[in-house]
Structure formats: C-alpha cells, structure tokens
Amino acid sequence: MLKIENLHATVADKPILKGLSLSINAGEIHAIMGPNGAGKSTLSYVLGGRPGYEVTEGSATFDGQDLLDMDPHERAAAGLFLGFQYPVEIPGVSNVQFLRESLNAQRKARGQEPLSGGDFLKLAREKAGLLRMDMDMLKRPVNVGFSGGEKKRNEMVQMGILDPKLAILDETDSGLDIDALRVVGDGINAIMRRPDKAVLLITHYQRLLDYVQPDFVHVLAAGRIVKSGGPELALELEREGYAEIAA
C-alpha cells in the first residue's frame, strides 16, 4: 500500500531523512520508534505533504500512485490520514462543519455523492461514541480549549469519520492519561485493524503498543531505519534504550 524508497528530505535546507526505505502492506500495523530528533515527525509531514518539507531524493508511492506529486488534499482523498502530534486549534470553525466539508470534498474528489447533514451527524455520533467523546465537543470550534488528551481523541474521531486506508499517527499517545490511552488504542483497532487498511504508528514509547499491537517495529535513527523486527523489538527497546539498539 505504501512503498518508500531511499527517501531523503530536508527542512529549511537541513537534511533530516537520509535514505529511508519502508514498505507497508494492507492489513499491517507498523510502529516506528526512535529517539528525539531521529526524523519521525519529519517522516509523517513529508508523507502528509506539509509545505517546507522538501524531498531531495527517493520516492514514495501510495497504492501505486506517486504520493510526493500529490497536494495534501489529494493525498487525503486518496485515503491517507495524518494524525497530528500537535493538533491545530481553529477558532470560529466548528468541528462538525469542518469535518462534513472535508468528508464531502474527499467524496467529491472520488466521484461519490455528498453525505447529507443527517447522515453525517449519524456517522459523527457513532465515531464520537467509539472514542467516548461528547457530541457537544464536536460542535465546538476545532480543538479550541481542548486538553491535550481531548485533542488526540478528536484526531481519532476525525479518522473514524474520514475512514482512511492508511493512517499515519504521529505520537498520538503523547498527552494521554492511562484511561485515554486505552480508549484511543481501542479506537485505532476498531477503525483501522482491517484487511484493507494499514497503520503507521510513530511513537516514543512501548505503552501504546500494548493496546495496538504492531506486526512490525522499526527503529529510526539519524534519518534512516536502522533496525526492523516484530513486536518483541519494542519490548527490547523499552528495556535496553535506543542508544544500545541503534548503535
């Protein structure tokens, strides 16, 4: 589904990714772990098409299409979802309005009929329930006044509503307390653990992986994947630290 080959990328002319290769198939959950500054967030932003993140070499394809050639909204319509490490607050724009317009823009791009207001609210209610988020919060301006945990939960509600093929979740576990971590973990499983979907989890810690068990774990250090393995690699990292494993 996602094939990254020898990816090099710079931010403000500073090389961050230095030859990263990764392949993710439908039905798989991959975790990328790594120390601060390894390039984890840069990878998520490069795949999400954030301006300012320049690819200097290599390729990334999504379902055979050149991902790097697509605008951010085209990537979304193709089925890519980026869960932000720091979800953005947008005063004056309600969650439901924003999500309904986003979903319908995606549907339009795919040649589907727009969802009616009633059908959308039904869908939103279902997904909010899954993440135990109050519908009132969905009517409030996007992320404004939300706690760190509520913002991450809102990201997952958005993911549920937009129903992507591939979710790249950048430190979705940070800022979550233990109960919220379980709710979010269960949410990811309910929404994304399907034979036709895939997830790339970017995280510092093992703890989210207790709830969302990965099929593959990769260690990212200095802009490259230096080690790959099964779920046991995450436990090993937790025990031994990155310095030991990445060396």
Query: Torsions phi, psi of 213, nearest 5?
Result: -80, 125
Separation of alpha carbons 221 and 17, rounded Å: 9
- Does residue 140 interact with another protein by CB under 8 A? no
Q: Does 90 bind another protein (CB under 8 A)?
A: yes
Q: Does 134 bind another protein (CB under 8 A)?
A: no
* Candidate list 12, 36, 92, 243; residue touching another protein; CB under 8 A: 92
Q: How many CB atoms lie within 10 A of CB 19?
A: 13
**How far is Cα 55 from Cα 19, in angstroms, rounded to an integer?**
11
Cα–Cα nearest to 17, from 30, 31, 27, 4: 4
- Residue 106 touches another protein, criterion: CB under 8 A: yes
- Helix boundaries (H) for the chain: 40-48, 72-77, 95-109, 117-130, 135-139, 148-162, 178-192, 207-211, 232-240, 242-246
CB of 75 to another protein, least distance (A): 8
Segment contacting another protein by CB under 8 A, of 17-25, 71-79, 225-233, 234-242: 71-79
Q: Tokens for 146?
A: 């939300």
Nearer to another protein, 102 or 174 (CB): 102
Contact characters 25-64, another protein, x per CB under 8 A: -----------------------xxxx-------------
The reply on whether position 98 binds another protein by CB under 8 A is yes
Min separation Cβ 107 and another protein, Å: 9
Site for another protein in 156-195 (CB under 8 A): 158, 162
Rule CB under 8 A: say whether 120 interacts with another protein: no
Q: Which residues contact 139 (CB under 8 A, 6 or more apart)?
A: 94, 95, 96
Give least dist CB 74 to another protein, A.
9
The angle formed by the CA atoms of residues 141, 144 and 150, to the nearest 5 degrees, is 105
Tell me how many degrees the CA angle 53-57-62 measures, rounded to the nearest 5.
75
Minimum CB distance to another protein smaller for 50 or for 193: 50
Q: How far is the CB of 161 from another protein (least distance, A)?
A: 9
| Residues found near another protein in the complex (CB under 8 A) | 48-51, 71-73, 75-77, 82, 84, 87-88, 90-93, 97-99, 101-103, 105-106, 109, 141, 158, 162
